[in-house]
């Protein structure tokens, strides 16, 4: 399957079930992504290791570890998966923190589904341009399938 035809895998991490479902449906229907979800960071880290997502949509405020710490841990482990933070309006000052630690973008709650899908498309497009030629051209080339 060609790179342009490959279905992006997105991990959505949020402790609010309605947000997880909304984002999952939107990314699946409007962008054709395969979407897995997690309700906390421990579950997200486990799924991130087993599914190797192409992008993570990550809530900042979670019950166990905050999303910024998850991103720090990913980057410290050499994992450069793109991350889009979901933040509550009260965390406006911290947006710069998320980008400084390796996040790629952020969306403030409440958010427009169309805006989130557009940001996901843009981040995935940038990530595909920066991947080495031929990388992930089919599932057999993906690190998780080795």
pLDDT in tens, the chain (146 residues): 444 568 999 999 999 999 999 999 999 998 899 999 999 988 988 887 788 899 999 999 899 998 998 999 888 888 899 999 998 866 655 556 788 888 999 898 899 999 999 999 999 999 988 765 444 433 344 433 33
What is the predicted pLDDT for the residue at 90? 67
- 37 vs 59: CA distance, rounded Å: 12
- Dihedral angle of Cα 12, 17, 19, 23, to the nearest 10 degrees: 50
- Looking at residue 92, its pLDDT comes to 52
Q: Among 1.10.1380.10, 3.30.1490.190, 3.40.50.2300, 3.30.980.20, name the CATH number for the domain at 3-127+134-145.
A: 3.40.50.2300
23 phi, psi to nearest 5 deg: -70, -40
Cis before 70? omega within 30:
no
Q: CB neighbours of 67 closer than 8 A, spacing ≥ 6?
A: 13, 41, 58, 59, 60, 61, 85, 86, 98
- Per the DSSP assignment, residues forming a β-bridge with 87 are 108
* Confidence (pLDDT) at 50: 82
- pTM for the complete prediction? 0.83
């Amino acid at each position: 399957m060609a790179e342009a035809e490959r279905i992006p895998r997105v991990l959505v991490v949020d402790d609010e079930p309605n947000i997880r479902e909304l984002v999952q449906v939107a990314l699946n229907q409007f962008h054709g992504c395969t979407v897995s979800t997690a309700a906390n960071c421990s579950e997200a880290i486990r799924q991130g290791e087993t599914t190797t997502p192409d992008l993570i949509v990550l809530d900042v405020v979670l019950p166990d570890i905050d999303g910024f710490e998850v991103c720090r841990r990913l980057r410290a482990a050499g994992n450069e998966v793109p991350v889009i933070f979901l933040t509550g309006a009260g965390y406006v000052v911290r947006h710069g923190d998320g980008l400084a630690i390796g996040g790629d973008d952020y969306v403030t709650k409440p958010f427009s589904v169309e805006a989130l899908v557009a940001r996901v498309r843009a981040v995935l497009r940038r990530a595909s341009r920066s991947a080495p030629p031929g990388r992930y051209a089919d599932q057999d080339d993906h690190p998780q399938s080795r």
